[in-house]
Amino acid sequence: MDSVAEFFGGDQAEDRRRGSDLRYDMQIKLEEAAFGAGKEIEIAKLDTCEKCRGSGAEPGSRTITCSTCGGRGQVISSRGFFHVSQTCPRCRGAGEVIEKPCQKCHGEGRLEKLSRVKLKIPAGIREGSRLRSLGNGEAGTRGGPPGDLYVVIHVREHKIFQREGDDLYCDVPIPFSVAALGGDIDVPTLEGKGHLKVSTGTQSGQMFKLRGKGITNVNGRGRGDLFARLIVEVPSRLNAQQRRKLEEFAALCGDENTPLRKSFFERAKEFFT
């Protein structure tokens, strides 16, 4: 049974023969949440019996008035001075019973089956959102209307990006030389490789924004941004030549090259006395 899912709406009116609603928890990738996707799921549920077509009766059989309640669907029992009205246990409130119940479903009108359901995941959907697929819950008893299927969305953790609202965040390591001298670097985006121009003297932790490279808003209000936090990576091993050059560089540097360090020690000097 196929259906296109839509967003969860209001409450359904209760029906005594209506089928039960079902819940399905679905995991999707961040890319699918960002751009939308078509999915198909398989669920086991009580579905309409093919032999009796949901009526619960053998072909050619008919329904007759319930002899227990006389067709009222209710029986009255006396408890001392009180009279209590209850649902008829034989016809379950229908007022009618099947003359010859279907042998395949035993008069239930439904059997457990595997059903395939198609869903459309809208672009921008968030963790915990619910989709409602009308009529794809369990079939109702004896031809009653079916329930609905509620799909709860869970977005898998991404190995690169973190999501906040419609924006994405990621950490991008860059060499010490690029941070000092500036240059162009590649940045990952959900659509492939992006480019970023790094300014001379970029500090570790500095954030750069790639406009419009985030998540599409689920309500159609534009698209979020991608924020790349640059992490300056200090070499963990140096060969002799690299070490010598770096020592020469350090000897040439003064406080004017490290204004943050100079400012910090001026504010913290009382703690060093």
Q: Concatenated DSSP letters for the chain?
A: -----EE--SPPPP-TTPPPPEEEEEEE-HHHHHH-EEEEEEEEEEEE-TTTTTS-B-TT--EEE-TTTTTSSEEEEEETTEEEEEE-TTTTTSSEEESSB-TTTTTSSEEEEEEEEEEEE-TT--TT-EEEETT-SPPPGGGPPP--EEEEEEEPPPSS-EEETTEEEEEEEEEHHHHHH-EEEEEEETTEEEEEEEPTTPPTT-EEEETT-SPBPTTSS-B--EEEEEEEEPPS---HHHHHHHHHHHHH--GGG-HHHHHHHHHSGGGG-
The overall average pLDDT reported for the chain is: 87
Same domain, 10 and 87: no
Q: Out of 68-82, 139-153, 206-220, 230-244, which region has the weakest mean confidence (pLDDT)? A: 68-82
Within-domain flag for 79: yes
Same domain, 254 and 144: no
Longest dimension (CA), the chain: 106
Share of the chain above pLDDT 90, in %: 53
In the listed set 139, 155, 171, which residue is the last one of a domain according to the structure? Answer: 155
166-209 pLDDT, tens digit each: 999 999 999 998 999 999 999 999 999 999 999 998 999 999 99
Interacting residues of 2 by C-beta distance below 8 A, sequence separation 6+ = 116, 117, 118
Within-domain flag for 239: yes
**Nearest alpha carbon to residue 123 among 222, 29, 217, 39:** 217
**According to the model, what pLDDT value does residue 41 have?**
95
Q: Out of 3-7, 81-85, 95-99, which region has the weakest mean confidence (pLDDT)? A: 3-7
**CATH number assigned to the domain comprising residue 223:** 2.60.260.20
Same domain, 13 and 89: no
- For the chain, how many structural domains are there in total? 3
Interacting residues of 16 by C-beta distance below 8 A, sequence separation 6+ = 92, 93, 144
Taking CA atoms, 124 is separated from 37, 120, 163, 168, 190, in Å, by 10, 12, 11, 12, 13
Within-domain flag for 273: no
The domain in which residue 255 lies consists of 162-264
42-80 pLDDT, tens digit each: 999 999 998 888 888 888 888 888 888 988 888 888 776
Same domain, 245 and 211: yes
Share of the chain above pLDDT 70, in %: 92
Same domain, 178 and 245: yes
Same domain, 202 and 146: no
Within-domain flag for 247: yes
6-54 pLDDT, tens digit each: 444 333 333 347 899 999 999 999 999 999 999 999 999 999 998 888 8
